Amino acid sequence: MLLEGKSAVIYGGGGAVGGAVARAFAAQGARVYLAGRTLASLETVAGGIRSAGGTAHTSRVDALDEKAVDDHADFVAADAGSLDVYFNLISHGDVQGTPLAEMSLEDFERPVVTAVRTMFLTSRAAARHMIRQGSGVILMFGGYGDPLPRLGGLQVAFGALESLRRSLACELGPHGIRVVTLQTGGIPEVLPETFAGREAITAGIVGRTMLGRAATLADVGNVAAFAASEHARTITASAINITCGSVVD
């Protein structure tokens, strides 16, 4: 298994993408630590992992709270003996569907401030332990492709995270720590079946790809497990393009 003996922290582990990544990591042998603000959703994911024979721990942690994030990293490092993989997959409160010219400052800046703050906090907490170990992998999700209309501050937030990814990779590489983004072009599977715009958005995502299909949650989990593993030991300071060809590198 790709992640046998590794510990992996997943912030937003009760969410759609975080849950899929947690399941994939656990299936590859990692001991997963799910963090989020709502224990019930974390426990649902953890329960599924345990039923499948994996090991999952849940913690109520606000990923914007500096002390809570540091304390959680300390707990995981002590509990697992090392802190090997860290993936922050929380939502950022972005508002989509409104043109920038009509958007309030509050709605625009929320995802930018949230994304940068939480990624800095969780990456810093992880890095302090990983530097001591001389190893570790920090993963990010989103990436930065060509602009699309009506995504509000979301792409600006992802652009800022890409800048942070480059700086972290540069500073942490000499300590044996890799920093990698999974660049997504959208995952139609997460759209609620009852959502009126589901079909049109799915058609838009698929229509922009070269492969004529979009990434599934299972696809994201599989690539994340690879990126976190020793099979990807040469990959850092980079984005792995999982857009099925909607973004051309």
Ligand X SMILES: NC(=O)c1ccc[n+]([C@@H]2O[C@H](COP(=O)([O-])OP(=O)(O)OC[C@H]3O[C@@H](n4cnc5c(N)ncnc54)[C@H](OP(=O)(O)O)[C@@H]3O)[C@@H](O)[C@H]2O)c1
Give the footprint of ligand X on this chain (CB under 6 A): 11-12, 14-18, 36-38, 41, 62-64, 89-92, 141-142, 184, 186-187, 190
What's the min distance (Å) between Cβ of 186 and ligand X? 5
Q: How far apart are CA 24 and CA 41, in angstroms?
A: 17
What's the min distance (Å) between Cβ of 36 and ligand X? 4
What's the min distance (Å) between Cβ of 40 and ligand X? 8
Q: Which is nearer to ligand X, 71 or 175 (CB)?
A: 71
Q: Which is nearer to ligand X, 10 or 83 (CB)?
A: 10
What's the min distance (Å) between Cβ of 41 and ligand X? 5
Q: Which is nearer to ligand X, 54 or 153 (CB)?
A: 153
What are residue 87's phi and psi, to 5 degrees?
-135, 115
Quick one: which of 244, 154, 156, 150 has its CA closest to 197? Answer: 150
**How far is C-alpha 121 from the geometric centre of its chain's CA atoms?**
14
3-state secondary structure of 196: coil
Q: How far apart are CA 147 and CA 167, in angstroms?
A: 23
Q: How far apart are CA 133 and CA 139, in angstroms?
A: 17
Please give the residue whose beta carbon sits closest to ligand X in the complex. Answer: 15
What are residue 76's phi and psi, to 5 degrees?
-65, -45
What's the min distance (Å) between Cβ of 58 and ligand X? 11
Q: Which is nearer to ligand X, 37 or 175 (CB)?
A: 37
Q: Which is nearer to ligand X, 187 or 225 (CB)?
A: 187
